[in-house]
Structure 1
Amino acid sequence: MLEWRHSVSGRLFHIDLRTGHSIAIGPQRQAHRTTIVNRSSLNKGFTITPRPAAHATAISDDEFEDAELDAIIASIPLPPPASEVSGNGLDVGLGVQGEVLGAITRSTLAQARVLDQVDGKFIVCTTIVEGQQVVFCVDQHAADERYQLERFLEEYATRCADRTAAFLLEAAVTVDVSTNQYEALRADSVARAMRRLGWEMQLVPRMAQVDISGVPYVLKDRTLTLTGRPKNQALLSDVFVSCIEDITRRQADTQQHRMRRQGKHKTVRADDRDWMSFARQMPGSLLEVVKSRACRSAIMFNDAVRRDVCERLVARLARCRFPFQCAHGRPTLVPLCQILAQPCDDS
């Protein structure tokens, strides 16, 4: 971990050198106020003709307000607007700013050529966008994290559809629940939804307790030891309770929606094996566990990889349904520049 303090806010951050993630440490500190600088003495050759004031202006307390600086910024021409790119949200990636007109799409990403790995963190590539060669870099950790996330979600959706998502425990674990949660589990619809996710359980009669004999296999590494015994019962209990609350709330919302739409449209059942449809109905606590698993299993920063591995990373990213963001929303690639072809002067 690397300590870094923001120069303006004064807030301290810890930065993970392997993943690039930052964690704020402590409350935001009030930035120190300094002496107001007369920026007229910092004129670097700009000649600004002052405009007569149309009306009296109130004096501002903002030490960064400067009429000359505002006039200089206003005189800088804006870059030309980027041309529109046809396609849907799944295909269009990050647009290139400035002189590069266009955007990197899934199809252009699939045609990318890998140049090399840089600093053990990024993969520099080139591709053709609207007839021009564009250089962009891929965050190797974010790219592999996105691939791992979609792979884990697809596998989990398939196993839930096949009713094989449970990892059976050697001995049952007793979890305390509230009275409302206990009553919710007595409903067949909630119990079926919980078992479909991989929870194997038995209600303890006349007590607000549940004996858990099987957990979703995606929780195995976080909550169980190698021998299958609980090592983090607090997390196991929190995720279990969160799943009950999430399923109960979703079923109540669905019932209300059906009552409002009754007689108008026929309800269409989502594909159980489609991981995108599955992820939308997945409890948030389990989804966060899958995201964490994808992050921990992905290639990290400072991991030196060969060129063929880099090519495989970029090719797998291009096959993803959402290739332009990692599991936590960080961009997977950033366009750098456009290589313009110069005419050859034979004379």
Structure 2
Amino acid sequence: MDRKFIVTLASVAGSKKPHVIVLFDQHAVHERIRLEKLMKDYQIDGCNTHFRSTEITPPLPLSLSAKEVRILSSFEEEFGRLGLYYQLTNETQIYVTKIPTCLKARESREASRGNTVVKSLLEALIREQVEVLLDTRGVGTRVPSVLQNIISSEACRGAVKFGHELSVEESRVLLKYLGQCELPFQCAHGRPALAPIADLAIIDRDTAPVRDSSLLASHVWGD
């Protein structure tokens, strides 16, 4: 509809036939599908425990605080799980030898436009993870927000846009893959991917003229 939404008729638990009109945001749907596929591709064996890494040559020197270097020294395995490998050189400097593959892909895209982001993103990733490790007493986090944002941005960039006309078959395929997602009801940025707009069972049951516009609103959107 309007080259923005996929219109479907859905059923709810206990109903014998579909009767709820649901609009799916076509960009959000494709974005969610891409996000979950990219997340699996960037992780070893598609699990949420170890990010793939890519070697960088020559190694990248980073100047950090003494506290950050101490944490990096104590939690090398935890940082390796995020795809980050490094050599400690002194109390305030490391040489990064491998970085998360998703971050390398982002740097490659930026380099094609004459930009570089690898250093700032690495510093942000290290500082975020250092704070999490300190707050959780070494537990860490599965997917730091820095990596989540990188992958979400890539998912968004390649997703179907508003204004792109989808065929019926393309729409069916998108909804099929959406149904296989772990979080099918939200886009890569956490916004809703769908909205129920009308319950035909309620509307059909209401044959009397609607005198109050607020009553109609309750039928369409719910209380």
Q: Provide TM-score, normalisation by structure 2.
A: 0.75
Q: Residue 121 in 1 paired to residue 4 in 2?
A: yes
1:155 corresponds in structure 2 to 41
For 1:180 and 1:160, how far apart are their aligned partners in 2?
Answer: 33
Please say if residues 84 and 100 of structure 2, whose CA atoms lie closer than 8 Å, have aligned partners that are also in contact.
Answer: yes
Computed over aligned residues only, the root mean square deviation of the Cα atoms, in angstroms, reads 3.0
Structure with the bigger percentage of helix: 2
After superposition, the C-alpha distances for 1:6-46 in whole angstroms (9 at most, x for unaligned) are xxxxxxxxxxxxxxxxxxxxxxxxxxxxxxxxxxxxxxxxx
1:51-62 maps to which residues of 2 (within 5 A)? none
* TM-score for both structures, normalised by structure 1: 0.50
Structure 2 counterpart of 1:211, which letter? Y
Tell me, yes or no, if the aligned pair for 1:160 and 1:198 is still in contact at 8 Å. no
Shift of 1:185: 1.6
- 1:220 alignment counterpart: 104
Partner of 1:177: 64
Unmatched segments (≥5 aa) in structure 2: 206-223
Q: Could you tell me how far 1:301 is from its partner in structure 2?
A: 1.2
Q: Deviations over 1:152-177 (max 9, x none)?
A: 22333435868671111232222221
Deviating more after overlay: 309-318 vs 297-306: 297-306
Query: Aligned residues: percent identity?
Result: 27
Q: Deviations over 1:131-188 (max 9, x none)?
A: 451222110001111122222223334358686711112322222212221222221x
Matched, 1:332 2:187: no
Aligned to 2:79: 194
- The CA distance in 2 between the partners of 1:226 and 1:163, in whole Å, is 25
| Contact kept in structure 2, 1:174 and 1:210, CA below 8 Å | yes
Counterpart CA distance in 1 for 2:111 and 2:6 is 39
State the structure with more CA Rg: 1
Name the counterpart of 2:180. 319
Contact 1:165–1:216 (CA under 8 A) maintained in structure 2: yes
* Cα distance between partner residues in 2 of 1:174 and 1:252: 24
2:218 corresponds in structure 1 to: none
Equivalent runs, 1:137-286 vs 2, <5 Å = 137-159=23-45, 165-187=52-74, 190-204=75-89, 206=90, 208-224=92-108, 231-232=115-116, 235-255=117-137, 281-286=142-147
Considering Cα pairs closer than 8 Å and 6+ residues apart, tell me whether 1 or 2 has the greater RCO: 2
The aligned amino acid for 2:78 is A
Contact kept in structure 1, 2:28 and 2:187, CA below 8 Å: yes
Cα distance in structure 1, aligned partners of 2:107 and 2:119: 10
Q: Read off the aligned partner of 1:167 and give its amino acid letter.
A: T
Number of aligned positions between the proteins? 198
Q: Which moved more, 1:321-330 or 1:137-146?
A: 321-330
Gap runs ≥5 in structure 1 = 1-117, 258-277, 343-347
